[in-house]
Amino acid sequence: EPTDDYEKEARLQALVKNCPFIIDLVDHGFDDYSYHFVLAFGGNRTLESVYKKKPELSNDERKRLLVWGAYSILKAIEFMLSKDVTHGDIKPDNILIDESGNVRLCDFGFAEEIKESDDDEGITCERGSDYYAPKEAVVYGARNRKSDIWSTGATFYPFFHDYHNFVENYTTLMELILFFVSNDPIKIKSSDQDVLEFFRKTLENDVSCRASHDDILKSTLFDGRIGLPNQSNAISPFLSL
């Protein structure tokens, strides 16, 4: 029989259908051996594959990729929250890039329903990948409506740093917890003020100070000087990679 987790994943992904920045669930089912999901095709590349080309990219190219990619994920978060859904596992492997350079979020295995009334204390739930999870998830096993914001910052962080991610030197969960508890600042290798502002707003340990998706989308990084997915004449910088 289908499990409760399977039914929940199917239900929550169905809630966020028809968003241009999220892979649609087309169908789902269960046979004698396993359950399955049928998803709309979102391309054969992930953001993870783009990181392999990072050494070849100029600072300007990295910024254009950040603007296009982060805007897409922030708009996905905006749509999910309008349906009271949090993803819970935003990371490079869960971001697909199609042949036109469109960026879409997939894999709702850790998604949860969270209403605005739940947000003060957050909800207790499983977390996604530790290296992209926020402090409240790693340390307290909790999630709120800004948890996906942290994960978005952590996902795009490698474009501006030598490391694959900012906590890759923490090999155990305890080391990762101690990192969060220490409140050490996260180092960002960029002199671009718009880029620095994006990471300061997203990678904020204190949830009460972490920016919302709406606040971040209003920042100068997304003011249209660099092409955005919602501009009719814009060409995705992922297209050339």
Residue 165, pLDDT > 60, answer no
Backbone angles phi, psi at 228, to 5 degrees: -120, 155
First and final C-alpha spacing in the chain: 43
Identify the residue with better confidence: 232 or 63.
63
Name every residue whose Cβ is closer than 8 Å to that of residue 70 and which is 6 or more positions away in sequence: 152, 156, 198, 221
Task: Give the pLDDT confidence score for residue 30 in this predicted structure.
Answer: 79
Q: What is residue 139's three-state secondary structure?
A: helix
Residue 90, pLDDT > 90, answer yes
Taking residues 75-99, what's their average pLDDT?
96
Task: Give the pLDDT confidence score for residue 171 in this predicted structure.
Answer: 60
Crossing angle (nearest 10°) for helices 193-202 and 147-156: 140
183/185 Cα distance (integer angstroms)? 6
Task: Give the pLDDT confidence score for residue 241 in this predicted structure.
Answer: 80
User: Which of 28, 47, 30, 49 minimizes the C-alpha distance to 39?
Assistant: 28
Identify the residue with better confidence: 194 or 130.
194
Residue 81, pLDDT > 70, answer yes
Residue 35, pLDDT > 60, answer yes
Q: What is the DSSP letter of 98?
A: -
152/215 Cα distance (integer angstroms)? 14
Tell me the C-alpha to C-alpha distance, in Å, between residue 112 and each of 7, 59, 123.
12, 36, 9
Inter-residue contact 165 to 159 (CB < 8 Å): no
Identify the H or E element spanning 227. Answer: none
Task: Give the pLDDT confidence score for residue 159 in this predicted structure.
Answer: 83
Chain segment 43-79, per-residue pLDDT in tens: 999 998 888 777 788 889 999 999 999 999 999 999 9
Taking residues 127-149, what's their average pLDDT?
90
Residue 232, pLDDT > 90, answer no
Does the global pTM surpass 0.75?
yes
Q: Residue 29: how many CB atoms within 10 A of its CB?
A: 11
User: Which of 9, 28, 138, 23 minimizes the C-alpha distance to 73?
Assistant: 23
pLDDT grade, residue 91 (50/70/90)?
Answer: very high
Residue 119, pLDDT > 70, answer no
Inter-residue contact 202 to 220 (CB < 8 Å): no
Taking residues 142-150, what's their average pLDDT?
94
For residue 68, give both structure tokens: 């296009």
Whose structure tokens read 């971001």? 95
Identify the residue with better confidence: 170 or 140.
140
For CA atoms 135, 141, 144, 147, the dihedral sign is positive
Task: Give the pLDDT confidence score for residue 120 in this predicted structure.
Answer: 63
User: Which amino acid appears at position 29 of this protein?
Assistant: G
Task: Give the pLDDT confidence score for residue 188 in this predicted structure.
Answer: 74
Task: Give the pLDDT confidence score for residue 211 in this predicted structure.
Answer: 96
Residue 167, pLDDT > 80, answer no
Whose structure tokens read 């297209």? 239
